[in-house]
Amino acid sequence: MGTFKTITSAIVLVTIALTGGSYAATERFEIYPGGDNHIEFLSRAPLETIKGVTDQVEGFIEIDLDNLGNGAEARIEVDMASLDTDNVTRNRHMRENHLATDKFPKGFFALKNIIQPSSTSLKFSQPVNLQVNGELTLRGATRNINASVTAKLSENRDSIYITASFIVPLTDYDIPHPKFLVTKLSDSHEITVKLVAKR
């Protein structure tokens, strides 16, 4: 019996050593559609700037609040057909001719790495600035991106408030150069993200 316990304990220790205990302290936070969640694209042109917004975003974040580099994982998806530019004709043109939302209804982001956080832990009243590296999928094409992120923790540690920004070159995702009505827009769109992830 003692030999069995010894072997079992050894297996547990080896398992912890191999994994580095990397996921033992991670906590899961969920992102639900609506509420304070907000994704915006901005396309600039000499004569007009077009903005599209949606709150139809969902996903999850798994993170160790006391060690941000310890096994962090995140996946976020957006209902692309819900993007609204405040113009019915422009919306239809965007969905049918550029985003092809009937064929590619969702956009996805999957976290790969957290880079250069301003703090190794996330605490109330101490926002952390960092870079994240991940894979963005739009219109069926997946590309590697970096994004600038600020994360804040609520006082009771049950919510994480996230803001992020990055640039999407349309040609990287095989998105045709946009021409809404008579306005030619930029080859790249500025993306701003505001999310609340709840325990």
CATH number of the domain that 130 lies in?
A: 2.40.128.110
Residue 4 lies in a domain: no
| Residue 167 φ/ψ, nearest 5 degrees | -110, 140
Residue 77 lies in a domain: yes
**Residues with Cβ within 8 Å of residue 139, at least 6 apart in sequence:** 99, 100, 104, 173, 174, 175
Residue 89 lies in a domain: yes
- Give the residue numbers spanning the domain of 179: 23-198
Residue 10 lies in a domain: no
Question: Among residues of the chain, what percentage have pLDDT more than 90?
Answer: 71
Residue 111 lies in a domain: yes
Q: What is the pLDDT of residue 71?
A: 85
Alpha helices, DSSP H, located in 106-199? none
Q: pLDDT tens for residues 87-144?
A: 999 999 899 988 999 999 999 999 999 998 999 999 998 999 999 999 999 999 999 9
Residue 104 lies in a domain: yes
Residue 29 lies in a domain: yes
Helix (H, G, I), strand (E, B), or coil: what is residue 115?
strand
Say how many domains are in the chain: 1
| pTM more than 0.75 | yes
Q: What mean pLDDT comes out for the span 57-83?
A: 95
Residue 15 lies in a domain: no
Tokens standing for residue 38: 């907000």
